[in-house]
Amino acid sequence: MSIDRRLRAAVEAVDELWSGAEETAERGRLFLTSLQPHPLPEPVTASIGRLLDGLREEVGASLYCAVYEEGEVRVVAQSSGPNTPPVTEWVDFARSAHAHSFGKCLLAQLDEDALRDHLARHRPARLTSRTLTHERLLVHQLHTPSPWPSPFLDLQEYSMGWVSAAVSIGGGGRIGAVAAYLPLAMAHRLRGVGETLHRLACPPLDLALLGRTDHLPQKPPPLEDRPPVGGDRTLPDLRPPVDRAMAKGS
């Protein structure tokens, strides 16, 4: 839909909002939906899947790419292999965004009203002994700025025996995230995994969300040709929380 047509649709939705009290909430939802990007087409999600396949062995973890569309978390692509097993989706990812890394990464990019609306529709449930379910504490955690480029972590909050790091991606007004999942025994690798996601996964996935799949690399560049993350900016040391998680899980 062109920008002009979308603007006209938005104006018409506003006019309807003021036409009467009936179904005002539903009209408001339709108005907001009219301004959001359309769901990613299949060719784009297929390209994202191929990109994750190319990066999986380099990152050394199973990879997940997710977006926030129409008020829900949607995993658009994932990649795993014999040496990089996936985390078992024992609870629907869409209903457990408060617990897994890419869900928290997506929720953190919502404004306060949208976040509280999501939590009202998907009440935080305790999936493990480490899952944060107190809504006010969760909102505070999600909206508290952290030093760039700190990833969002899942330290056995979604599933016991698994840890994860996720970073945000975006393009064309979309809200996205890419995450890597590791068995708990490999938790010491989270710092390096987060850096690799920032360096190798984020730039091409930003292009993919813009629909510019013709610019996506066919395979990761050789290690020696990759640029550094930049300046003195590095991920904070994740060893203390990871060590605590491993100690509790042992």
For the chain, domains (ranges, CATH) are: 1-35 (no CATH), 41-249 (3.30.450.40)
65-69, 126-130, 146-150, 232-236, range with the lowest pLDDT:
232-236
Most distant CA pair in the chain, distance: 63
**Can you tell me the distance from the alpha carbon of 113 to that of 139, in angstroms, rounded to the nearest whole number?**
11
**Can you tell me the distance from the alpha carbon of 28 to that of 24, in angstroms, rounded to the nearest whole number?**
6
Q: What's the one-letter identity of residue 173?
A: G
pLDDT value at residue 245: 47
pTM: 0.74
pLDDT value at residue 163: 98
β-pair partners for 155? 163
**Can you tell me the distance from the alpha carbon of 60 to that of 94, in angstroms, rounded to the nearest whole number?**
25
132 or 5, higher pLDDT:
132
What is the number of other CB atoms lying within 10 angstroms of the CB of residue 123? 10
Q: Could you read off the pLDDT of 20-29 as tens digits, one per residue?
A: 555 655 555 4
Span 235-245, mean pLDDT? 47
Q: Could you read off the pLDDT of 143-197 as tens digits, one per residue?
A: 987 776 689 999 999 999 999 999 999 887 899 999 999 999 999 999 899 999 9
pLDDT value at residue 150: 82
pLDDT value at residue 210: 86
Question: What is the token pair recorded at 74?
Answer: 């949607």
Q: What is the mean pLDDT of the chain?
A: 81
Strand ranges inside the chain, DSSP E: 62-69, 72-79, 152-155, 162-171, 174-183
Q: Could you read off the pLDDT of 89-124 as tens digits, one per residue?
A: 999 999 999 999 999 999 999 999 999 999 999 999
